[in-house]
Amino acid sequence: MIQTLFGSVQQEPNLLERLKAGIQKTREGLVDRLEDAIAGRKEIDAAVLEELEYALITADIGVNTTSEILESIRQRVDRKQVGDAQQVKQLIAQHLLEVLEATERPVRRVAEPPAVVVVVGVNGSGKTTTIGKLANRYKEEGRSVLLCAADTFRAAAIEQLQVWGARTSTDVIRQSAGADPSAVLFDALQAAKARKVDYVIVDTAGRLHTKSNLMAELEKMRRTAAKVVPGSPHEVLLVLDATTGQNGLEQARKFTESSGVTGIVLTKLDGTAKGGIVVAIARELNLPIRYIGVGEQAGDLLPFEPDKFIASLFAA
């Protein structure tokens, strides 16, 4: 079952296969290298550990997690508790799973709609596309959706959101370019309440994380949301581009400080061999990964479940 703001929905029957296809480059970059490092070796020695370290670091697993994994392997080798390739792979997979599970947080339950989902992220991360995919996912769950075009700094952003609105048959609440984002949000939430809409998904400016005045705008929007819909926003999703690797961590830290991020959406995972950034982000920020993007189509946003992700990564 997949957890949503309105309770559980049925698991997608082919989720594991779609995950395997979506992270194929990471599978090849990480698991194939791991297997090359230990295949045919009679013992796990310093040279093997060095190759394992290279495989983990280049997959963007992160220095801390990599160090922990290697130390765990060393200890087991010393105690004669691990000696073959399969055991090493299982040990690595188990450690990665534990890191991801440690950051899991239950999705907030919304007793009375609308559920307000604010989406933040820098330009080029795939934020607006993610919003369109979220709308599609929520509607497939049988929920009604309204989009809020609160990225008023770029006229093109409003137009892009309208394209996704048309693609997913979802209404968009908008004003002219340059309007106050909080005013647009206010209108969208009032409309959602009047229409009894289940979800409001809020697009925000793809601001650079160094612009403190724009971060203040996000905080103002949070206050506006809470006034119109008490307890909202119910979810603040930070969209990160998986291909940026470790650079995405600094973006995420800044947004987390200023906008109360509750979860991560990692996009373009199908386009990188550095999918280990999933683990690094979860560990460093102590935030759950909510969704991953594995393609350009409306249905290519998959719910993230640690056990399914690790299984798809290490499956034969």
Residue 311's Cα: distance from chain center in Å? 18
Taking the C-alpha atoms of residue 183 and residue 115, their distance in angstroms, rounded to an integer, is 18
- How many residues are there in the chain? 316
Q: Which helix (H) or strand (E) segment is 160 a member of? A: helix 155-167
Half-sphere exposure of 158 (CA within 13 A, CB side): 15
State the pLDDT at residue 223: 93
Distance CA 307, CA 229 (A): 34
Question: For the chain, how are helix, strand and coil distributed in percent, rounded to 5?
Answer: 55, 15, 35
pTM, two decimals, is 0.89
pLDDT digits (tens, 9 = 90+) for 122-152: 878 889 999 999 999 999 999 999 999 999 9
* Residue 117 pLDDT: 96
Give the CATH H-level superfamily of domain 115-261: P-loop containing nucleotide triphosphate hydrolases (3.40.50.300)
Strands (E), the chain: 2-4, 7-9, 115-120, 145-149, 171-173, 199-203, 235-241, 263-267, 289-293, 301-303
∠ CA 24-291-188, nearest 5°, is 145
Instruction: Determine the pLDDT at residue 311.
Output: 87
Q: Are 278 and 289 in contact (CB under 8 A)?
A: yes
Instruction: Note whether 114 and 189 are within 8 A (CB).
Output: yes
Task: Give me the tens of pLDDT residue by residue for the chain, a chain 316 residues long.
Answer: 676 787 666 666 677 788 788 888 888 878 888 888 777 776 777 888 888 888 888 888 888 888 988 888 888 777 776 666 677 888 888 889 999 999 888 888 888 999 999 999 887 888 999 999 999 999 999 999 999 999 998 878 899 999 999 999 999 999 998 899 999 999 999 999 999 999 999 999 876 555 667 778 888 999 999 999 999 999 999 998 888 777 777 777 777 776 788 999 999 888 887 788 888 888 888 889 999 988 888 888 988 889 888 888 887 6
CA-closest candidate to residue 256, choices 305, 309, 215, 301: 215
Contact 285, 245 (CB under 8 A): no
For residue 28, the model assigns a pLDDT of 81
Q: What is the pLDDT of residue 313?
A: 85
Q: Can you name the residues that pair with 236 across neighbouring β-strands? A: 118
Q: Pick the closest to residue 122 from 258, 234, 5 (CA basis).
A: 258
